[in-house]
Every structure is written in structure tokens, then in C-alpha cells.
Structure 1
Amino acid sequence: MDAVQITSDGDEYDFSADELQYKARLEEFVNSADFREKKELYRTKKYKDTDEHRIMRQYEKLLNSADIRLYYETKNSALLKEYLDFKSNPESLNLKDLSISEVSAKIDKLKLFEQSKEYKNYTQYHDSLAIREFEELKKKISEPEFQQSNAFWANPDRWETTPEYRLEQRYLALVGEKISTGRRRNKTSIFKKYNSVKLTFYERFDWLKLEDSRWSPGFHSGNSRLIGNYSFTNEHQSNNNGQNVAVSEGVLTIHTVELPNRSLAWDVQKGFVEKDFKCTSDVIQTSATFKQKYGVFSAKVRCSGTLHHALWLSGDRKLPHVNIFHFNGSKITIGNANQHKIDGVEITGISENRYYIYTLEWTPRALIWYVNNVEVYRTNENVPHEALYIGINSFIPSKMEPTFGKFEVEWIKVFDVRE
């Protein structure tokens, strides 16, 4: 959190009796031991030391367990249902209507399933402590109270979101003191039209371990089966559960490297399958800690390599999906995919290898993109009207050659703006 510096302008103020009484109550409040302790706690406590962080990390650990994923895949399969129905009631297969060879094939199929890795894993985990813990954690993190508390503690600037902070500012205003947060106010035309501009998210990558940050590895979805770390069968890289994410000197880097491996992948027709990949990369997102509807979203980024790099906004469903920045291996693009329509533009005249500031201004009426505060595109079609989280990833579609590259993000800022 930026240091708050207080300087007095030296002016004397005359207060009415009511104002003096109110000022005295505020002065007593902001100087109380309870206020000072709370302020110190909110400003210094690290997210990694909270119960919320522990709960989220344990949930993600279980969620990304290959055995637990396999358990739920098997649990929801038609083959398990057929097998269990047959065990409880052999007549459920309607064998009398089948030929001898068909009966033999059905019985053999169920015997093979009984000896399979899938069924053995199912019996090991069914009603186990691990599954009960996972279900309890899944219920816990879906509760609005937990989501609010988790978002609060994950925010390093949490103190400035509290009622106590606002009362402190009111007290300082009453006694004629000026507050400087150390931040330069953005005077660009993007903000001039707004009466109120509030910084709601500032990621300056002052952490070293992903687990100490507000970012989670893997994908988020409203479909619980599609939450966690996995890749896609139509891509060359496996996502590496945050292992390809690094922070150095305040810059986040997602590394894509050529490294043959076998990992979990989603196939639209088959569901989750094991696949051999030629590269590794990563995806991270803030679904558990930060979402916002409307505002100004800005990031300073650059990238390298003939592969895809993207910084985007998304929600519980596949759409909407808004690209604040997207490099497709040859060109920089921005745009909005919603209702099966992609609305965007290619950006020419700048290099993906150099840092530029990419900004999205999102209002109830329009989406407007800027590069270094110069407007490059706007649309009034398919504007999202739901809170979205931030995502960052690199990937290599199967139609491209396997390769390596880097996606670097120096900072991300989000503002809530009001006209």
C-alpha cells in the first residue's frame, strides 16, 4: 500500500458548537487504541496469513487433484450408473431382450469397468474424507460472506475500503489537513468526463509467490467441472498450475517453454482426457478475489514469441469475453466476443516487444479501447452488464508451430468511475 503523507496547510478554522462536538468525537475515535490496532492490522496483514487464503489454497489443491477430478468424472458417467444399477438389480439390463453375444458383451463391459482404474479410484474416494472436505470447501467459497471477506483480505489496499478510513479522512478534512497518497492523478481525457474516480484494483506485482497474491492458477467457470488447471486438446501447451509464472523486479512474466509433458486436457466431445503436449505455459485469473462491472481497466504489457498472449475480462460463462490486449502471434488485436460475435480491430504501427499501456473504458453504453491514452476502437454492441474478473494467459493453438515466448505485465489498474 502506498504511504499516506499528511501535511497541514497552516490555516486556522472556526467551528460551530455542533461541528466542534462532531470533530471531538472523530478525534477521539481516530486516536483510540482500537482504531490504531485495526488500522495497523488492515494495512500490514498479509493475505497468505489469513483463513481465507488457507481455505482458497486448500480448495484449489483438491480441485486440481487428478484423482478427485477422475472421481467426479466417473461419478457422473453413464457407465457407473449402469454398473451400480446392475449390481443392485441385475434385471435392469433387460438381458432377456438381447442375444447371447449381446449379453456376453454387456457383461464383459461391466466386468472390465469393475477392474478399471476409474472404478477403483471411485471406490477409494467415494464418501472419503477428501471428498467431504472438498464439498465443504466448495460450499464455503460459494457463500457471499466468504467471497466478500476473501476479496477484502486479498486487496493490499483494503484499508482504504473501510468505514474507518472514510471517517479518518473526514476528520482530517475537518481539521484542514490535506492528504497525499503519493499517487499521481491521471489527468488524461479518459477521466476528465467523470466526477468521481476511485482506484479499486492496483496490481504492482510486489510479491514473489503466486500463492501470496490475489491471483489463482487455472480457469474459472460457472460450471464446477471446468474450474481449475487444465488445457485444451486443440492447443500445443499444457497449463502448468502457476509454475510458469514468475515475478521479478515488479514485473510479472508468463513463460511459455518447449517441454514435452502429459497433462489433463478438455475435449469438447470427450470431456477431460490425458494428452501429450509439446510445451508448457500458464493461465491466472482473479475470479476469487476481484470482479467489477464497468470502469476503466488499464495495463502496461509487452510480449515476445510467435504465439498467443492475452489479458482479458470474463465471467462465469464462456461469454462475454473482452480482450484488453491480445497478440495472436503476428498482430495485436483488441475486442469483445459476446453472443457469438467478435467485435474488435487489429492495432498496427506499434511493436508487441515494447511496453505500451492498453486501456479499456467500459460503461453501460459502450466499450472503448485506448493505447497510450489514444482511442483506437469503440463499440456500442453487446456491452456486458455483469461483473467480470481479470485473466492473463499465453497459449499455442494446434494450427501454429510449438514455440517459446514471454508475456510481461508491469502493472494493472482498475478504476470505478462515476459521471
Structure 2
Amino acid sequence: MSFRIFSLQLMGKIKPVEKIELQRKNLLDDYQEFTHVENSDELREFLELEKHIQSADFNAVKKEIQQLRFKGSKEEGVLKEFEQLKKSSGIKKYFKLEGSAELKRFETIKESDKLTEYKQLKEFVENGEFRTVKEEMLRSVFKGSEEQQREKEYNSLNKKPGIKVYYELFESELLKKHEAVSHSEKLKKYFELRDLSVKDKDKKREFGELKNDSEIKSYLKFDRSKKLKLYKETADSYHLKKHQELKTEVESDDFRKRVEYLKDKKKFEKTEAFKKKTRLKELSASDDIKFYLKFEKSSLLDNYLKVSESAELKRYVELKDLVSSEDFLKRKAYLDDPKKWEKSEEYATEQNYFEMKKRPHLVKYFKYKGTDAFDFFRQWTVSFEDDFNSKKLDTEKWSTVSAEAEKTLGQNYALPGDLHLFTDGKNITTEGKLVIETRKENTNGMVWKMPAGFVPAGFEYTSGLVSTSKSFWQQDGIFEAKIKFNPVKETVSSLALKGEKASPGVYLLEMGLKNRLGIATVNATGKLEMNGLDVSNLKKGAWYIFTCEKSGSAFTWKINDVEVLKLEDHSVGFPLQIFLSTIVTDQITPSKLPVRFQTEWVRCYKKNA
């Protein structure tokens, strides 16, 4: 009986296997979660967020936001400037007029045709053009005019005797007849006979007749008259030419109209200038023009025009737009808000950081980060495992025939003195755990006897074995299994790590006649010797995890993760297979049958390079 096992159990060091497995499961779950978190975008986001939250820039922004107030702010200065401008006399008067009915009327009249006409007429009347026209009209009278002089000269010429005679005779019948006689043969004959010394009676008589002819007498009388003489004198005279010239002019329609115009005392009233002056008076008397002229000179309009182009108004409008803008009002409300920090994006970012910081998987991540809690998972890799959950034994992993039997007979055989025969898997069951069942039943098999070799024999008991001889060998690493500690002293149930030979062997557990773990060797007499630890004090019927870690010649055994034994042994320097079996050493009390060697799982680890 081992005092070490006793004391460990007494002090509660060896915890129940359920607790150990739960701890292992939780640690594995935590490791898997840790690995997932470590490679997650969420962690990267959190670390970036943490760096940002803890940065000097973030804290400066936080401090700045928390210290922001409307009082004393740039925005308050802008609002005060606007209020001062709003109270300005010029600005107030400007907006009193801006948009008023009076200003609208003024602007309407200003753009009207009526005002344009008024201004044009006023300029016409006042710029001298009207006066020029009027004075010209006053000067345009008949008396003393050129027309009067022409008419007077014309009338004077009309009174001259030569002019009178000329127009009396010109183209008259008398003159025409005189001209006709002057070219007649009769008159020609008369002058021929008169100028001859006629002695011829006939010619005298003819001359006498011609001399007494009425036409010739009339001709000679008219030809010697003063009237004809005056006519001829006048016909080529200057006076006649001048008279004819004046006659054409004076008797023309244009001249008569001009004279009529010059004699007209109402001619100015008929001028366009007079009409314009009259229209100007009409417009000047209209309500619109009188309003316009009065309003144009008002101090209110004068102020309006001065302010409209001023920098003061420009600034007022600029500030009004600014202080009434949605952005300014939001900014003012923001500065007045005592909860502005809590409403900021930075606060939301900070709260997001705090929320993430409380997330269980992140809390757990930082709990483990930098610790050696997961060193096992980082340093070791599962190299072999079986939880026996299949309905049948996994023959890819396990063999039910020993390696020696495979090489020789091809089936399990017994040695002299054995009370049992290992069947070829008939005594093996799974479904949640591996059970090697030892039964009392007669069976036949083969026994190895020298020098005969394999000979048939009968057996009272059957049992079973499993090994990884065909699938798994490992020299160094961790080997462990969860086994129900239920020793039956007439049997030996064991989980051993063996090489090609039966000895030496590393035992995770041997229970039955003796309950122990360690390294077993066969001495010179063929007896099995165990260098190890007695574990008889373990609770019968309880499950335990038996572990052996091998590193070169160093061996460490653990029960439920509590170290119970350390050994140095240089004899086990070769690859090992896993071997589980139950042998019968004595007649088994019937009440103990069948004997069940139960293993819930087997697991091996190999250290990472």
C-alpha cells in the first residue's frame, strides 16, 4: 500500500475525474476560443479601439468636448455682433423700408414708361432745347421776314408800267396779231412800195390801198405806240426776270404756307415742343410722379440706398444667414447641451470600447494572454486517440491479436500454465468505452510448448487484448487513458506501453493481484519485476486518468493530473505500442464474473518540434 497515494487522497489532491475532465474540457474550450479570438477581426478592432481610446489625441478631444461652452465661444461672439448690428439705426430703417409697399411703388414707378417719359420731357424743357424752339417761334413772324421782303419787292415790281404792259401784251391776241401781220406779205409789200419812188400808177394805187388797209393801219399804229415800245424794253429787262423769279416763288404753295405760318399768332401752340411742355405739366401733376419725386428726396430712401451698398449690411446679412442656419443652431444647441459628451461620436466610441472590454470571450482572452495556461496545447499535438464511441472496435487503430501471434500462428495462443485464452475480439465491446470482458467458459485453443511447438489445449476462461501494433508506435510523448479502477485479485488487467519485445514495458496501470504503475522488466528467472508505485489506495469502482510522460530516459506518471512518480530508465529507448489486456492468474470467484476491464478513452500526444 502506497503512503503517497494515501496522503494525496487524504489532502484532496487527487480530484474526482469528472472535475478533471471538466477542467480539461473548459481549458480546451478556452484555448479554442482564445485561438479564435486571437485571429479575429473583433480582437484587431478592439486593440485598435483601445489604442485609440488610450491615445493622447483621444483624451485631448474628450477634454476639449467636455470643456466646450457657448459662453465665451466664437459662436457667442458672432451672435453678439449680429444683435448689435440688428439694433443699428441704419439697419433698422433699412429693413423698415425693405419690402414695404412704398418701396415697391417707388421701384415700380422707377421702371415705368411714365417716369421715363417724364424725365425725357423734363430734360427737354430744362436743357435749353425747349427755350430754343420757343424763341425761334417768337422770332418767326412775317413782319421783317425775308418772305415779307420778297412779297414787298414782288408787289413793287407789279406796279411798274413796263411789268404791267408786259403781262398785258404777253401772249395777248393783239400781240399775236401784230406779230402775224409783221410777217405777212401784205406788210412786206407795203414797205417795198413805200420805200420805192413809185411812178407807176398801179403801184401807187396799190400802195394807197395798202396804206389805207385797216390791218396795216392798226399794225403801224400799234408798232409806233409807247405800249409796244415799253413792252419790248421790259421783255429782256432785269425787272422782268426778277419779277418772274419772285412770281414763281411768291405764288408757290410753299411760300404761301410759309407766309401763312409766319402770320399765324398760334403757331407755337401747334409745335411739338409746346405739346411736350403741356405733357410735362400733366405728368408733373400725376400722383405717381409727385410721389416718386417726393420719395426720391426722402431721408428714408437716402438711408436705404446708402446702407444697401454698405459693408455693415453685407455683414448683417452674412451673420443673419449664419446664426439662423441649421448648422449654427445645431452648434449652439450642442454647446449649450450639458450632455454633449454623452452624445458625441467619441463617447459612443468609448462606450463601444467599454462594451467590448466586458465581452466574456475578450475578458477571458486577456485573462489568459501572456500566461502559460495554454502551453500544453501549444507544445503538444494529439498523435493518437480513441473514445470508443463506435459500435464496433476501430480495426484501423486496434488489433485483437498480439504482434507475436501475428508473426507466428496468425491467431492468439496461450503459454504453459495460462488459465485463459485470448479470443480474436469476441471478448471486446465498445459503444462509449472499451470493455475487455473475462468470462468463465470452456474453449479450445493452441498452447506453445517446447519442444513440440503449438499444441491444442482446452481452457476454462476466455479474455481479450487490443494493441496498436499495426497502427501506432511512439517513442517519446504523453500516453494517457481513462480507466475504471476495479481490481479483481484473480486477474491482472493492464494498460502497458511495449516495444517489439515483452520486456521492458511501461505500465500506466496494472490492477488485480497487484495494483501498481511503473516500468516492468523480466528478470533472469522469468519473473516480472516492477519499478514503480503501488496504487492500491485508489478508490475501487472509481474512474481515473492515468498518464505517463516519456522524454528520453525520463518518465513521469500522473493520476488525475497529479504527479505521483518520476523515474529515470535508459532501457526503454525504442518506439512503443499501446497494449491492453486481462489475464487470469487463479480461479475466479463466480460472483466476480464476468470481469470487466473498462477504458473510456485512450489519448497520446507528441511534442511539437
If the length of structure 2 is used for normalisation, what is the TM-score? 0.36
Alpha-carbon deviation of 1:418?
5.2
Q: Aligned partners of 1:230, 1:191: CA distance in 2, in Å?
A: 46
Q: 1:374 to 1:226 in 2, by over 3 A?
A: farther
Shift of 1:214: 1.1
> Partner of 1:355: helix, strand, or coil?
strand
Distance 1:240 1:222 in 2: 12
Cα 1:401–1:272 change in 2 (3 A) is farther
Match of 1:361 among 546, 549, 563: 549
Q: Which residue of 1 aligns with 2:498?
A: 314
Q: Which residue, out of 452, 460, 475, partners 1:293?
A: 475
Looking at structure 2, the residues matched to 268 and 360 of structure 1 have their Cα atoms a distance apart, in angstroms, of 37
- Report if the CA contact (8 A) 1:222-1:316 is conserved: no
Question: C-alpha separation between the residues in 2 aligned to 1:368 and 1:347?
Answer: 15
**Larger helix proportion, structure 1 or 2?**
2
Distance 1:222 1:319 in 2: 16
Amino acid at match of 2:477: G
1:82-101 alpha-carbon deviations (Å, 9 max, x no partner) = xxxxxxxxxxxxxxxxxxxx
Q: CA RMSD in A?
A: 3.4
1:292–1:190 CA distance, 2 compared to 1 (3 A): farther
1:336 aligns with 2:501: no
Q: Is the 8 A contact 1:364 1:383 kept in 2?
A: no
Equivalent position to 2:535, from 335, 347, 350:
347
Aligned partners of 1:217 and 1:384: how far apart in 2?
Answer: 24
* Cα shift readout 1:315-363 (whole Å, capped 9, x = no counterpart): 212222111111133x421121247353222113213421111111111
Structure 2 residue matching 1:221: 3-state secondary structure? helix
Alignment partners' CA distance in 1, 2:567 and 2:447? 34
Residue of structure 2 aligned with 1:232, choices 407, 415, 428:
415
Q: Distance in 1 between matches of 2:548 and 2:414?
A: 27
* Between structures 1 and 2, the one with greater strand share: 1
Conservation of the 8 A alpha-carbon contact between 2:413 and 2:448: yes
**Structure 1 letter corresponding to 2:453:** G
Aligned partner of 1:216 in structure 2 is 399
Q: What is the distance in 1 between the residues matched to 2:563 and 2:397?
A: 30
Letter in 1 for 2:502: K
2:479–2:603 CA contact under 8 A, matched in 1:
yes
Contact residue 366 and residue 381 of structure 1 kept, 8 A: yes
* Percentage identity across paired residues of the two chains: 24
Q: 1:226 to 1:369 in 2, by over 3 A?
A: farther
Counterparts of 1:193 and 1:216 in 2: how far apart (Å)? 30
CA distance in 2, matches of 1:279, 1:191: 47
The answer to whether 1:405 aligns with 2:592 is: no
Q: Deviations over 1:40-85 (max 9, x none)?
A: xxxxxxxxxxxxxxxxxxxxxxxxxxxxxxxxxxxxxxxxxxxxxx
Q: Secondary structure at the match of 2:404?
A: coil
Structure 1: gaps (5+ residues): 14-177, 179-184
Match of 1:256 among 438, 444, 455: 438
CA deviations on 1:271-291 (whole Å, 9 max, x unpaired) are 322111101110110111111
**Match in the other structure for 2:455:** 273
Decide whether the 8 Å contact of 2:405 with 2:413 is kept in 1: no
Q: Alpha carbons of 1:212 and 1:269: their partners in 2 closer, same or farther (altered >3 Å)?
A: same
Change (3 A) 1:377 1:314: same
Change (3 A) 1:211 1:269: farther
CA distance in 2 between counterparts of 1:399 and 1:190 reads: 49
CA deviation after TM superposition for structure 1 residue 204, in Å: 0.7
**Residue deviations 1:97-133, cap 9 Å, x none?**
xxxxxxxxxxxxxxxxxxxxxxxxxxxxxxxxxxxxx
Write the deviation string for residues 252-298 of structure 1: whole angstroms up to 9, x where unpaired. 10111110111112335543221111011101101111110111111
Q: More deviation in 319-328 or 4-13?
A: 4-13
Q: Which amino acid aligns with 1:229?
A: N
229, 244, 249: which is aligned to 2:427? 244
Give the Cα–Cα distance (whole angstroms) in 2 for the partners of residues 207 and 198 of structure 1. 23
Alpha carbons 1:231, 1:264 under 8 Å: kept: yes
User: How many pairs are equivalent?
Assistant: 243
Asked whether 1:377 is paired with 2:565, we answer yes
Deviation of 1:192 (Å): 5.6
Q: Aligned pair in 2 of structure 1 residues 269, 344: CA closer, same or farther (>3 Å)?
A: farther
Distance 2:557 2:605 in 1: 15
Contact 1:260 / 1:277 at 8 angstroms: preserved in 2?
yes
Q: Secondary structure at the match of 2:599?
A: strand
CA distance in 2, matches of 1:269, 1:191: 57
Q: Is the 8 A contact 2:553 2:572 kept in 1?
A: no
Native 8 Å contact 1:199 1:414 kept in 2: yes
Question: Does 1:323 find its partner at 2:511?
Answer: no
Distance in 1 between residues matched to 2:415 and 2:373, nearest whole Å: 38
Shift of 1:10: 2.9
Cα deviation for residue 227 of structure 1 reads 5.7
Larger Rg: 2
Amino acid at match of 2:556: I
